[in-house]
Chains A and B, each alone.
Chain A
């Protein structure tokens, strides 16, 4: 739901296939926040261009610009949105449930996704050969998913941590999408995660955030 809004200056620099950008798109949609979508083509190296580096010296997406505030890193951006735009909360009140959400989000963002990111896969491709990239990614994902199934089994309702959509769902959805669609993980290996994946696909805020639905998507 990218569009300019009168009096509101939210701009998201994003790449359609970036799972980290995908997280932020979901969060913005869930909070009903309008934003301008600015594509950054990672495959063309646009994140390394001078004009982008001036905005974000770290040279990665997503970047959220809120008036004069420039934010990077999906976890930091989403926590900022939660603080500044508290309607449609992305975290439950209960401190225990909050901790589970932080854990699930952090497992995805620090234990799974970094270990199958583009630069590591490219490194493995160079060192051993392109055929080894997929097995490596699958092994990383399987180990993480096995743990997530155990972590979530006592907490899931309709969604990851109960019957409302929260932070865990925002981090899980892009990871599940990547795992099942791009890395050929079979859904029957992970029943809880597979069910969540199907559920997310029915929610408009998640559908609209899908990679293939972005302005810069290549089909």
Chain B
């Protein structure tokens, strides 16, 4: 099935005077796509939004297969460079688009941000990915939500310990960095989809309140994306 080009739109800040060579393949409800939308918003980089409707299986189309044989979003096309995987896309953006840095210069603080993002990207989100949960439900003949909740609780406990001595207004101090870019969508998903009790995580809970009020986070939220009107669960 070919991707529906009618669902393309333009990211924040896009206008005729700004030539944009960035194309982001995204699904409004994907937390991994949200990370990249948020990062692009924070950096003020315009981009073309190409919707991939995961609920219709558009990630398995021949066109998308060529972009990402793992069949997941986001995928960033930057001139001739195709980058999939949100962690890799983030690092690419950070290296190439140096305005409004999302990684600090200090090596230790930089490592902390990479670590927080990695815990979310490698230890939490993959374990509650929709297709993993579906596979589990088939195997177990039981609800997979408890597993997702267990995984998130475990990851959030680790993050709470890591961040309690570093967090200020944001996860690692007074500036918004990579840790925040990965945390904000994850906490939102945890609360809204998996009913996680955030009172157990006071630092993360406070950060969540901060993120919700951020214009750039609001602008990149699922309900504000071009494909949100088409897909309302």
Report the separation of the CA atoms of residues A76 and B107 in the bound assembly, to the nearest whole angstrom.
10
B126 engages A111 (CB within 8 Å): yes
Which residues 47-95 in B have Cβ within 8 Å of A in the complex?
68-70, 80-81, 83-85, 87-88, 91-92, 95
Cβ–Cβ contact A102 & B162, under 8 A: no
Q: How far is the CA of A73 from the CA of B127 in the complex (A)?
A: 17
Residues of A with C-beta under 8 A to B110: 79-80, 83
Q: How many residues of B contact A (CB 8 A)?
A: 37
Interface residues on A, range: 35 or more
A151 at the interface (CB under 8 A from B): yes
Contact check, A95 vs B87: say whether CB atoms are below 8 A apart: no
CA distance in complex: A132, B138 (Å) = 13
- How near does chain A come to B219, taking the closest CB pair, in angstroms? 25
Q: Which residues of A contact B69 (CB under 8 A)?
A: 146-147, 150-151
Cβ–Cβ contact B122 & A109, under 8 A: yes
Q: Say yes or no: B107 contacts A84, CB within 8 Å.
A: yes
Interface check B161, CB cutoff 8 A: yes
CA distance A123 to B81 in the complex (A): 39
Query: Which of A35-43, A112-120, A156-164, A196-204 lies on the face that meets chain B?
Result: A112-120
CA distance A33 to B158 in the complex (A): 29
Whether a CB of chain A sits under 8 angstroms from the CB of B10 is no
Residues of chain A contacted by B70 (CB below 8 angstroms):
107, 111, 143-144, 147
Instruction: Report yes or no: B161 in contact with A57, Cβ–Cβ below 8 A.
Output: yes
A69 sits at the interface (CB 8 A): yes
* A107 cross-chain contacts in B, Cβ below 8 A: 70, 85
A102 touches B108 (CB 8 A): no
B126 with A102: CB separation less than 8 A: no
Contact A99 B83 (CB under 8 A): yes
B115, A102: Cβ atoms closer than 8 Å: no
Contact A110 B122 (CB under 8 A): yes
What mask results when residues 84 to 119 of chain B are scored 1 for a CB within 8 Å of chain A, else 0? 110110011001100000000001101110110011
CA distance A72 to B161 in the complex (A): 13
Among A57, A58, A77, contact of B111 (Cβ-Cβ < 8 Å): A77
Q: Quick check: is B139 within 8 A (CB to CB) of the other chain?
A: yes
B111 engages A80 (CB within 8 Å): yes
> How long is the Cα–Cα vector from A170 to B69 in the complex, in angstroms?
22
Within 8 A of A (CB), among B110-153: 110-112, 114-115, 118-119, 121-123, 125-127, 132, 139-140, 142, 147
Pairwise interchain contact A128-B139, C-beta atoms closer than 8 A: yes
Q: Which residues of B contact A57 (CB under 8 A)?
A: 158, 161-162
Q: Mark B194-231, 1 if CB is under 8 A from A, else 0.
A: 00000000000000000000000000000000000000
With an 8 A cutoff between CB atoms, is A127 at the interface? yes
What residues of chain A lie closer than 8 Å to B123, measured between beta carbons?
114
B96, B119, B126: residue with the most chain A Cβ atoms closer than 10 Å: B126
The 7 closest A-B pairs by CB, nearest first: A102-B88, A57-B161, A76-B114, A76-B115, A150-B69, A147-B70, A58-B158
A residues sitting closer than 8 Å to B (CB atoms) are 57-59, 69, 71-73, 75-77, 79-80, 83-84, 95-96, 98-99, 102-103, 105-107, 109-111, 113-115, 120, 123-124, 127-128, 132, 136, 143-144, 146-147, 150-151
**Can you list 22 A-B contacts with CB-CB less than 8 angstroms, sorted by A residue number?**
A57-B162, A69-B107, A71-B108, A71-B115, A72-B115, A73-B115, A75-B118, A76-B118, A80-B107, A95-B81, A95-B96, A102-B83, A102-B91, A107-B70, A109-B118, A109-B122, A110-B125, A111-B85, A114-B126, A124-B139, A143-B70, A147-B68
- Write the residues of chain B forming the contact surface with A, with a CB cutoff of 8 angstroms: 68-70, 80-81, 83-85, 87-88, 91-92, 95-96, 107-108, 110-112, 114-115, 118-119, 121-123, 125-127, 132, 139-140, 142, 147, 158, 161-162
Extra A-B contacts (5), CB below 8 Å, given A107-B70, A110-B121: A79-B114, A80-B111, A102-B92, A110-B122, A115-B127
